[in-house]
Amino acid sequence: MYSVSKLMEKLDYTCICGSADVSVTDVVYDSRKVREGSMFICIAGANVDGHNLIEEAVGKGAKVLVVERDVEFLKGADITILRVADTRYAMAFIAAAYFDYPAEKLKVIGITGTKGKTTTTYLIKSILEHAGRKVGLVGTIEAIIGEKHIPANNTTPESFILQDYFHQMVEAGCDTVVMEVSSQGLMMHRTQGFLFDIGILTNVEPDHIGPNEHASFEEYMACKGLLFKQCRIGIVNADDVHTRTVTEGHTCTLETYGFFKDADLRAEDYELVHRPGSLGVTFRVSGLLEMKAEIATPGKFSIYNALTAIAVCRHFDVSIEDMQAALLQAKVKGRIEMVKVSDDFTLMIDYAHNAMALESLLGTLKEYRPNRLICLFGCGGNRSKLRRYEMGEVSGRLADLTIITSDNPRFEKPQDIIEDIKTGIAKTTGKYVEICDRKEAIAYAIDHGEPGDIIVLAGKGHEDYQEIEGKKYPMDERVLIQEILDERKVR
């Protein structure tokens, strides 16, 4: 049993009826999970408002209700009703108390930004584990708790789920957690109820603006800025023009990193590395730490990711040797993931699934002066046609050859999506072939690879399925590549 007064101890609330001096069997925010003796937190979601499900919850035995608006018709019922200003905010604190404040038993690192969050979380995890720490992870791809991998639904899960993950991490012996913190997660109070030890800003560009997301770029930046009022140390990108705006009103100690000469931690003298079947970059770190580093992923944005990880791990007294070794070994599924198929050309898998990400990736790869840059991609069905036109135009302009194929067609015909992509490519002089079946398209790319080529399989990244007419079918590009190579050996 859980004491209600203990669960509410860090919140301001009004007891509308009943008494807070009672105990409950559990805490739920989904009416379907209510049982005898539950505390039910009424959350107003995008599609369902928990306040409208109170009668159902009480009928199932809810003993305590946490609400943010009047529920007059229930006065006199044999239940306790507690009113708070915002039930989402309250849920974060209730969840923290319910799981006995697990974040206080961990070092918590939070990363926000438009790009680079996922890769940087894995880099930090890799370095800290190389140095002997046990690190949990919460992000876009998955949550990692010990040996357990839980596929993600949201970049930053609901506060109750997040606190549950923290609790499981403590139970699994973790001493640290690194997590992606989305602007939506911050706006919806999913990261309240605890203080981050370190908060990080990678970069900021207009994104997630529209219905059910952010009303404007200014709101988007303001939400990201909330992280720097919820952390002890902030580590931010000195090169980003929006950093000052995002961190306005911060309550943490700030450190900066970047290429800017006045940054606290700087990257200098970088050089591209092109070895058979792989791409990378070397650079020198100066300022708060002096070291040389090499990473096995290409481009300037990879340096930013690595520099961020170094800036964080410096606070954990990780040796330079451990940082250097871990940076070379770290891999992130579906984020510029090199797959060795030949010494003659380089093949990689990347999640780039919009024009901005694809342009950044292809622009970076062109710096390596490939014999040919080949881009294989499709676009998701039941999504914006504009994205298809834009991605087609970007690939047609930057790639020497585009292989148009299928992604997640969902409820659209794959060929219709391909035609939209071709509309974008038609604005350029880029060459293309169209092969609807993704495995056949990948086989074509491998079979026609020439010495010095760089081949990018874009769009799917970490996904291991293909969504067709409401059903997800297994499809992992790594598996497809291996099948293709095995078939070639048999011939």
Alpha helices by DSSP H, 84-171: 87-98, 117-130, 159-171
Q: According to the model, what pLDDT value does residue 26 have? A: 98
Residue 209 has pLDDT above 60, yes or no: no
Rounded to two decimals, what is the model's pTM? 0.91
CATH (residue range 102-329): 3.40.1190.10
Closest CA to 455 of 436, 440, 442, 438: 442
Position 489 scores a pLDDT of 80
In percent, how much of the chain has pLDDT > 90? Answer: 90
| Dihedral sign (CA 169, 174, 176, 178) | negative
Domain with CATH 3.40.1390.10 in the chain: 2-98
List where CATH 3.40.1190.10 sits in the chain: 102-329
Q: At the top level of CATH, which class does the domain 337-490 belong to?
A: alpha beta
- Measured between alpha carbons, how far is 330 from 313 in angstroms, rounded to an integer? 14
When pLDDT is cut at 50, 70 and 90, the band that residue 290 belongs to is very high
Q: pLDDT value at position 380?
A: 95
Q: Which residue has the tokens 């105990």?
A: 23
Q: How far apart are CA 87 and CA 12, in angstroms?
A: 11
Average pLDDT, the chain: 94
Q: Which CATH number fits domain 2-98: 3.40.1390.10, 3.40.50.2300, 2.30.42.10, 3.50.50.60?
A: 3.40.1390.10
Q: CA 303 to CA 259: how far, in whole Å? A: 10
Question: CATH 3.90.190.20 in the chain, residues?
Answer: 337-490
